[in-house]
C-alpha cells in the first residue's frame, strides 16, 4: 500500500489536508448542478492548460469510472458544444483572469439550446479555479516531474489502494486514515485495471479508418517516449490507464487535444506606464463580503467549504520562515498572499507593497511567480534551491499559500463578472 503524491505532500499539514479533501470530495462526488462525468472532463480541460499530465491522468480515470463517453477523450472536437463553449473562459481564467467580463458570462448563459444555468456555471468556475490552482501545487511540489521516479527527497508518487486523492471522503480523522498503510485493495485494483482495459479496447473497436488508427498509435508512442507508465504495485492502481487491444498499458494521450489556442499564456498584469484603472480593488469586491454569499447561494454549501479552506491555510504555522525575516508569521504569510494577488492585478488599499521586497528574497519571489503564473515551467532545481535551510514541510506550506491565493484570485474575477451580469 502506498500513498498518492499530492495527499502525501499535503499530509505535512494534516488539518489543511482534511479541509482540502472535504471540499474536493464535495466538488467532484456529491450532489451538484453538473453531471459527474462532466465534472471530471472540465478538470481535464483545466489541467491541460498547464500541461499537467499528472492531473489529466487522474481525472481521465475518474471520468471513465463515472460512465463518461470514451470518445470524449479524443479531444474537444468530440465533446458536446455546451461543454466545448467553456473553453474560452477556461483559457482566460487559467492565464489572465482579469480579462473575464460579464460578456463572457452572458455568452455562456444565452446560447440557445447549449446555454448554461447560473448554478451550472458557478460549479464549473469553481472546478476550473480549483484545478488551475492545483496544477501549481502539483508542479511546485514536484508531483508532476517525479510521478514515475519514486519522488523527490521524502516524496514518493504513491496511491492508496485504488483510491486517488480526488475521490477520498474527508472527515475529522480523514488525513490520519489516509496516512495509514492500506494493504487490502489488490483484488479491487486488478479488477479495475481489467475493466478499464476492456473499456479502452472498445475505443479501438469503434475507431474507423487507418488514419485514425495511425494517430492513436502515434499518441501511444509519444506517451511511452515521455516515460509515463502505470503500475499495479502492492495491489495499488497507479494513475490512469490507456490500453491497446493487446493489453499493453500506456500513458495518456497528447494533452494538446484538450485545449485550443495553446500559445495563450500569462502576461504581466500591468506595467508602470500603463493605465491602472483595471486594478481589482478588494475593498470594492471581496471574497468575504461578496464572493462567498454568491457562490453559496448558487451552489449550496460550497462557499462554506471554500471559506474553511482559505481560513485553514491562513492559520498554518510558519514560525521558522517568519523568524528568519524578523517578523510575525501573519505578516510573512500576508506578504506572500498579497504578492500573488498583485500578479493578477488584485490590490489591497490598506497594504504597503514595499513590504513584499523586504519580506521575500529574490529567489523565493522567482519561485512563487513561476509556480503561480506558469507552473509548467517549474523544474526540480527551483524547488531544491529556494530556501535550502528550511524544512520540506515549510516549502509545502508556501505551495499551499500559492494554491489558495491563486484559486481565490480566479474566483474573485469570475464571480465579479457573474455579479455584474446579474445586475
Query: H/E/C letters for each residue in the chain?
Result: CCCCHHHHHHCCCHHHHHHHHHHHHHHHHCCCCCCHHHHHHHHHHHHHCCCCHHHHHHHHHHHHHCCCCHHHHHCHHHCCHHHHCCHHHHHHHHHCHHHCCHHHHHHHHCCHHHCCCHHHHHHHHHHHHHHHHHHHHHHHCCCCCCCCCCCCCCCCCCCECCECCCCCCCCCCHHHHHCCCCCCCHHHHHHHHHHHHHHHHHHHHHCCCHHHHHHHHHHHHHHHHCCCCCCEECCEECCCCEECCCCCEECCCCHHHHCCCCCCCCCCCCCCCCCCCCCEECCCCCHHHHHHHHHHHHCCCHHHHHHHHHHHHHHCCCHHHHHHHCCCHHHHHHHHHHHHHHHCCEECCCCCCHHHHHHCCHHHHHHHHHHHHCHHHCCHHHHHHCCCCCCHHHHHHHHHHHHHHHHHHHHHHHHHHHHHHHC
160 bridge partner residues: 163
- Choose among 265, 315, 337: nearest CA to 94: 265
What confidence score (pLDDT) does residue 167 get? Answer: 55
User: Per-residue pLDDT tens for 33-63?
Assistant: 999 999 999 999 999 999 999 999 999 999 9
What confidence score (pLDDT) does residue 195 get? Answer: 53
Q: Does 228 have pLDDT greater than 90? A: no
Q: Does 419 have pLDDT greater than 60? A: yes
Percent of the chain surpassing pLDDT 70 = 69
- Average pLDDT (102-107) is 94
- Average pLDDT (75-84) is 95
What confidence score (pLDDT) does residue 165 get? Answer: 56
- Average pLDDT (108-128) is 92
When pLDDT is cut at 50, 70 and 90, the band that residue 346 belongs to is: very high
When pLDDT is cut at 50, 70 and 90, the band that residue 269 belongs to is: confident
When pLDDT is cut at 50, 70 and 90, the band that residue 234 belongs to is: very low
- Choose among 275, 303, 271: nearest CA to 288: 303
Ranges of each domain in the chain: 1-145+254-422
346 bridge partner residues: 280
User: Pick the catalytic residue: 38, 52, 166, 373?
Assistant: 52
Q: What is the mean pLDDT of the chain?
A: 78
Q: Residue 142 has which C-alpha cell?
A: 514536484
- Average pLDDT (69-75) is 95
What confidence score (pLDDT) does residue 170 get? Answer: 41
What whole-number distance in Å separates Cα of residue 278 and Cα of residue 389? 39
Q: Does 293 have pLDDT greater than 70? A: yes
Q: Does 211 have pLDDT greater than 50? A: no
When pLDDT is cut at 50, 70 and 90, the band that residue 225 belongs to is: very low
Q: Who has greater pLDDT, 27 or 318?
A: 27
> Which residues, at least 6 apart from 300, have a Cβ–Cβ distance to it below 8 Å?
none
Using an 8 Å Cβ cutoff, are 164 and 62 in contact?
Answer: yes
What confidence score (pLDDT) does residue 289 get? Answer: 94
- Give, to the nearest 10 degrees, the angle between helix 362-373 and helix 118-140: 140
What confidence score (pLDDT) does residue 144 get? Answer: 76
Q: Does 172 have pLDDT greater than 50? A: no
- The pTM is what? 0.79
User: Per-residue pLDDT tens for 251-266?
Assistant: 445 899 999 999 999 9
What confidence score (pLDDT) does residue 230 get? Answer: 30
Active site (annotated) includes residue 52: yes
Q: Does 191 have pLDDT greater than 70? A: no
Amino acid at each position: 500500500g502506498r500513498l498518492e503524491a499530492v495527499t502525501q505532500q499535503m499530509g505535512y499539514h494534516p488539518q489543511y489536508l482534511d479541509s482540502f479533501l472535504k471540499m474536493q470530495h464535495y466538488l467532484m462526488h456529491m450532489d451538484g448542478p453538473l453531471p459527474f462525468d462532466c465534472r471530471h472532463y472540465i478538470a481535464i480541460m483545466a489541467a491541460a492548460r498547464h500541461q499537467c499530465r499528472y492531473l489529466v491522468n487522474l481525472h481521465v480515470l475518474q471520468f471513465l469510472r463515472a460512465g463518461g463517453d470514451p470518445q470524449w477523450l479524443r479531444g474537444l472536437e468530440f465533446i458536446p458544444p455546451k461543454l466545448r463553449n467553456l473553453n474560452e473562459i477556461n483559457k482566460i481564467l487559467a492565464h489572465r483572469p482579469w480579462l473575464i467580463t460579464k460578456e463572457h458570462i452572458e455568452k455562456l448563459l444565452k446560447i440557445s439550446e447549449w446555454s448554461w444555468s447560473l448554478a451550472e456555471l458557478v460549479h464549473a468556475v469553481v472546478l476550473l479555479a480549483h484545478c488551475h490552482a492545483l496544477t501549481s501545487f502539483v508542479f511546485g511540489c514536484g508531483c508532476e516531474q517525479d510521478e514515475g521516479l519514486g519522488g523527490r527527497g521524502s516524496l514518493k508518487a504513491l496511491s492508496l489502494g485504488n483510491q486517488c486523492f480526488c475521490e477520498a471522503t474527508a472527515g475529522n480523522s480523514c488525513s490520519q486514515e489516509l496516512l495509514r498503510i492500506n494493504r487490502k485493495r489488490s483484488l479491487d485494483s486488478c479488477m479495475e485495471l481489467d475493466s478499464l482495459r476492456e473499456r479502452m479496447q472498445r475505443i479501438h473497436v469503434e475507431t474507423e479508418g487507418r488514419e485514425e488508427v495511425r494517430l492513436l498509435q502515434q499518441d501511444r508512442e509519444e506517451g511511452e517516449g515521455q516515460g509515463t507508465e502505470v503500475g499495479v504495485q502492492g495491489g495499488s492502481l497507479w494513475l490512469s490507464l490507456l490500453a491497446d487491444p493487446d493489453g499493453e498499458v500506456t500513458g495518456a494521450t497528447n494533452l494538446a487535444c484538450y485545449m485550443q489556442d495553446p500559445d495563450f499564456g500569462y502576461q504581466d498584469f500591468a506595467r508602470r506606464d500603463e493605465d491602472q484603472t483595471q486594478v481589482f480593488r478588494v475593498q470594492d469586491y471581496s471574497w468575504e463580503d461578496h464572493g462567498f454569499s454568491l457562490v453559496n447561494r448558487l451552489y449550496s454549501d460550497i462557499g462554506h467549504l471554500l471559506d474553511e479552506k482559505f481560513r485553514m491555510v491562513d492559520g498554518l504555522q510558519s514560525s521558522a520562515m517568519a523568524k528568519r525575516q524578523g517578523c510575525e508569521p501573519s505578516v510573512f504569510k500576508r506578504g506572500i498572499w498579497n504578492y500573488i494577488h498583485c500578479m493578477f492585478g488584485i490590490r489591497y488599499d490598506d497594504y504597503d507593497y514595499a513590504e513584499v521586497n523586504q519580506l521575500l528574497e529574490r529567489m523565493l519571489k522567482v519561485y512563487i511567480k513561476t509556480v503561480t503564473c506558469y507552473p509548467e515551467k517549474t523544474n526540480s532545481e527551483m524547488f531544491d534551491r529556494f530556501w535550502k535551510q528550511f524544512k520540506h514541510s515549510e516549502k509545502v506550506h508556501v505551495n499551499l499559500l500559492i494554491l489558495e491565493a491563486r484559486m481565490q484570485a480566479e474566483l474573485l474575477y469570475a464571480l465579479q463578472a457573474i455579479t455584474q451580469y446579474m445586475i
